[in-house]
A and B are shown apart, each in its own frame.
Chain A
Amino acid sequence: MKQNTIICRCEEITEKEIIKVIEQGYHSLDEIKRLLRCGMGHCQGRSCTMIIARILSQKTGQPMSKIKITTSRPPLKPISIKVLSEYKSHEE
């Protein structure tokens, strides 16, 4: 992969930017996410999280199994304000 390859498409974060923060000593996905916003875009990291985990593993020598994956938060897919605000639960 070329270093200016975009890894997080939603937030347009390149491999080079990710490698830079790893080299600055940030060795967890949680920190990389908070520093660069990769994983916080429209797809909520579904496209990029595992690729970033692999880069982190290669750069630091931590095995993939030891890398803590960031929390996936609801909703699973983006839903419009309109749809959500019209939602009525069955209990109502």
Chain B
Amino acid sequence: MKNNTADVIVIGAGIIGAATGYYLAKKKLKVYVLEKEFPCFGSTGRCIGGIRQQYTHPLSINVMKESVKIFSSLNKEFGKDIEWFPGGYLFLAHSEEQKNTYLSTIQIQHKFNLPVRFISADECNNIVNGINTEGLLGGAYCPTDGQANPFAVTYGYLQRIKELNGKVFTNSNVSKIKTSGNKAKSVITNCGEYFAPVVINATGSWAKHVSKMVGLDVPIEPERHESLVTEACERLFDPMLVDYRSDGCYFIQNYGTGHFIGCYTPVPNNPGYDRRASSEFITEMPRRMSRLVPRLKELKVIRQWAGSYEMTPDGNPIVDKTPVEGFYISAGMCGHGFMFGPALGKYMSELVTTGKTSLPLDDFALNRSFGKAEAMK
């Protein structure tokens, strides 16, 4: 095979491209990953590493059960520590309404054997010592959720692709995709043309531009989300705390380093590719964090940044083949792509090699109606 020809070209070296490329390389295919900047340049390098199975959509729960299984085996697979830590997720309830919502989502989650429980405010305080219990009615807690290091996972997958005869090209911006008779044929980058019968669009919030290169419209739009990190300290608590109130936030203590890292979902949202950090966020986020856990007050914030959520109309990803033969898409992760990545990479490798997946992904299909929204976004 010539060195500009592969079995599969993956566009984008975020978690989705890296994981998808790896499971294909493992099936003995020659994989090229093309990345316009460097690995983790996109959302993957800006995410906070949270991994949870507490969803309401059955498919998302099943995908996440598989992902958690994979995350817990990656240290062995890579021979490197990805800092996977099952410290749990705790969704806090500050109103009867929120509590009832969790009680009913827990019913759904129990059908999938997730060990989720609604715990009292006192139990919350046992798990998160020093949590503000004023107005707290308890929370939905799943101890098998957790976190991992997005850089370690993504670079781990890419390293394995290279060891399996694949290649990762950085600074290679795909500007054109060539087809012949409605079949994917090659891609053109600033570094030359690469040929493969299979091309996978794993470009996250840029996926609509790359799909447009073969004439496809996909409903994926970027939305700015900001984040900050504090200095490191001794371990204070294990789970990701999620406060879904309109002025809530979510944050977690990084297992590997001891830094606290967190974000909130702005209301109203911020559509577009603007990824500048705002002064509003760096003052508002500390207020929200210290309201939940007052003893964090003395910690210093060392860095803030912004990144994109890649939103689809219903809050679920698009993982599918397309009307162009050999052209696939796995994008629009709606802010959950890091945790979805390992399982979706595995399923995409099945779709490409066998035409179907061991878990039916119909609800992530490109031509679905996008009517049913995820409640635990």
Interface pairs A-B: 7 shortest CB-CB: A78-B300, A84-B286, A82-B297, A85-B287, A85-B286, A81-B286, A87-B283
Q: Are B155 and A34 in contact (CB under 8 A)?
A: yes
The SS class assigned to the A binding surface is loop
**Which one of B38-46, B216-224, B264-272, B334-342 is at the A interface?**
B38-46
Q: Are A74 and B38 in contact (CB under 8 A)?
A: no
Min CB distance B211 to A, Å, is 27
Min CB distance A44 to B, Å, is 6
CB contacts (< 8 Å) of B155 on chain A: these are 34-35
**Residue of A at shortest CB range from B300?**
A78
Contact of A34 among B151, B279, B298 (CB under 8 A): B151
Interface size on A, residues (CB 8 A): 22
- A85 to B296: give the CA distance in the assembly, Å: 11
Q: Are A78 and B45 in contact (CB under 8 A)?
A: no
State whether the Cβ of B290 lies closer than 8 Å to any Cβ in chain A. Answer: yes
**Which one of B17-25, B84-92, B190-198, B302-310 is at the A interface?**
B302-310
Report B271-309 residues with CB < 8 Å from chain A CB. 277, 279, 282-283, 286-287, 289-290, 296-305
State whether the Cβ of B230 lies closer than 8 Å to any Cβ in chain A. Answer: yes
Apart from A73-B305, A78-B301, A89-B279, what 18 extra A-B contacts exist at CB < 8 Å?
A: A28-B38, A31-B170, A34-B40, A42-B302, A73-B277, A73-B303, A74-B282, A74-B303, A75-B301, A81-B297, A81-B299, A82-B286, A82-B290, A82-B297, A84-B282, A84-B283, A85-B283, A85-B289
* B residues apposed to A, CB below 8 Å: 37-41, 45, 151, 155, 170, 230-231, 257, 277, 279, 282-283, 286-287, 289-290, 296-305
CB contacts (< 8 Å) of A87 on chain B: these are 283
Min CB distance B85 to A, Å, is 17
State whether the Cβ of A30 lies closer than 8 Å to any Cβ in chain B. Answer: yes
Report A17-38 residues with CB < 8 Å from chain B CB. 28, 30-31, 34-35, 37
* A residues apposed to B, CB below 8 Å: 28, 30-31, 34-35, 37, 40-42, 44, 73-75, 78-82, 84-85, 87, 89
CB contacts (< 8 Å) of B299 on chain A: these are 80-81
Name which of B296, B301, B305 has the most chain A CB atoms within 10 A of its CB.
B301
Q: Are A42 and B231 in contact (CB under 8 A)?
A: yes
CB contacts (< 8 Å) of B151 on chain A: these are 34-35
**Residue of A at shortest CB range from B149?**
A37
- A85 to B285: give the CA distance in the assembly, Å: 8
Contact of B39 among A31, A79, A81 (CB under 8 A): A31
Q: Are B286 and A78 in contact (CB under 8 A)?
A: no
- A81 to B292: give the CA distance in the assembly, Å: 12
CB contacts (< 8 Å) of B302 on chain A: these are 41-42, 44, 75, 78
Min CB distance B76 to A, Å, is 20
Q: Are A75 and B289 in contact (CB under 8 A)?
A: no
**Residue of A at shortest CB range from B257?**
A37
- A60 to B69: give the CA distance in the assembly, Å: 40
- A45 to B231: give the CA distance in the assembly, Å: 14
**Residue of B at shortest CB range from A43?**
B302
- A48 to B356: give the CA distance in the assembly, Å: 49
Min CB distance B230 to A, Å, is 7
Q: Are A81 and B40 in contact (CB under 8 A)?
A: no
CB contacts (< 8 Å) of B40 on chain A: these are 34
Contact of A79 among B41, B257, B301, B305 (CB under 8 A): B301
- A37 to B261: give the CA distance in the assembly, Å: 15
CB contacts (< 8 Å) of A85 on chain B: these are 283, 286-287, 289-290, 297
Given A74-B282, A89-B283, A84 and B303 touching (CB < 8 A)?
no
Contact of B298 among A30, A44, A82 (CB under 8 A): A82
Given A28-B38, A30-B38, A85-B283, A73 and B297 touching (CB < 8 A)?
no
CB contacts (< 8 Å) of B38 on chain A: these are 28, 30-31
